[in-house]
Structure 1
Amino acid sequence: MRQIGGDEVEGIFRRCAPLTTLKEVQEKYNAGEPVNFAEYGDVHVPAAILKKFLRELSEPLLTFDLFEPITRLHFHDAPKRIMEVQRMLQDELPEDNYAILKFIMHFLVEVTQKAEVNKMTPSNVATVFGPNLAWSKGQANLSTIEPVIKFTQLLIENFDDVFLR
């Protein structure tokens, strides 16, 4: 019998894992203990932990300084948009953040490639993941969430064009 990978589970990243399990895993990480996700038998645990980790950073992976340019990106026409995203990520995003973002986006592209099975299209993945990658210093509002989601979708759909280095 073939084992199903987490990226083949319908709605991966949409469902949350049990809060007690998430707390236990986070306590292990914080204590420097290894975590074997196979022991939990629930692919939603690592998925939820990844989103929780990103959401709880003191500054978002896409930094506070990039938030405003991300929300204005829709003013550029499509070809210029890709070039502007490349410039923003290469020139304004710290190198470590860039490497982590590229790794996560590559993984999310792989998830979307199995959308027929997992129902996680680029739009769906961007909707559940985008708000964990970028937010403003001040109070968040619904008008700023949509540009972040569209930005995340652009990263997923144009991965090879955006991530050059």
Structure 2
Amino acid sequence: MKKIGALIVVLGIGIIGYAQNNTEEEAIKVLLKKESATWRAKDVAGHADCWQIRPYSRILVSTGNGQVIDVPPMAMIHPKPENMGDGGTSVNSNYTFSIQANSAWVSHEELSISAAGKQTKTYEIRLLEKINGQWKLVGQSIMVQQPIVQ
């Protein structure tokens, strides 16, 4: 009887842990979709709300032709609208999460489709922190693949 009780407790803890982690993953996915959409919509305030700049924040972009651009982190919360997206949409897929208390990293693929229909695929690694109960981006690395020929 004690073994059954212990098994129920262990299973209950496991289910609660899984459910909480799944909820955190969904909250992060919502944030990442918002960050992409606000960039494309030139929504400066909405985009800034997705970020928390820290002294260790870093944004690195590896282009399809082998260059690396070290983007100043403040450009994420004070972007110039002319440097932001031009509409279009994006779809994220193949998420991998590591969530440890109030810190997380996420890798995923993004297919971006410009307003003109040009498609670009990126591999992205995002660094996040939970601040006042909300996930915020604190850094990222984006590897741009060659544009998809249509």
Which has more radius of gyration?
2
Q: Same fold (TM over 0.5)?
A: no
More helix by share: 1
More strand by share: 2
Structure 2-normalised TM-score? Answer: 0.31
